[in-house]
Amino acid sequence: METLWAPWRMEYISASKEDGGCFLCRAAAEGADEQTSLVVHKSRTCMVVLNRYPYNNGHLLLAPRRHIAEPADLSDDESRELMALLSRSIAVLRAEMRPDGFNAGLNLGRVAGAGLDTHLHWHVVPRWSGDSNFMPVIASTKVIPEALEDQRRRLASAFAAAR
């Protein structure tokens, strides 16, 4: 039997299930540690955060910095910035990770799959031909080959350069 080590998952497994507040609001706060909160980029009203529990390497969350739950609550500036960040995120991921395609979208409400349903956010997930290989199908295991901290650093540099 082979062992797949994923020590970063222990934080998630052992975390208290009690409400620890909104991780996106903590990431958006002035003076937040961007490395710890996995912030890749902040604009005036929105931000891009690396997903701590990704479906694939490069799985990004795009969110307004304001704590809102519904698209109708977005200001015009937030709407424009989110759309610009969506395009920029795809361009950065294309250049840095060379995926074959993307899944991009949002889940509104818990029944729609939103793990955090009180702070609106979009998912941008890079996809590669064959990324649904035997591991998730047979072993119910997803392999994420790059450490999140290294990935955050690399993507943050790419976002800064893509201005």
Fold of 22-161: HIT family, subunit A (3.30.428)
41-77 pLDDT, tens per residue? 999 999 999 998 888 889 999 999 999 999 999 999 9
At residue 142 the predicted structure's pLDDT band, cuts being 50, 70 and 90, is: low
**Mean pLDDT of the region 14-41:** 80
Provide the annotated active-site residues: 121
pTM beyond 0.85, yes or no: no
Calculate the alpha carbon distances from 114 to 100, 105, 106, 127, 129 in Å: 25, 11, 8, 20, 26
Sequence ranges of the domains in the chain: 22-161
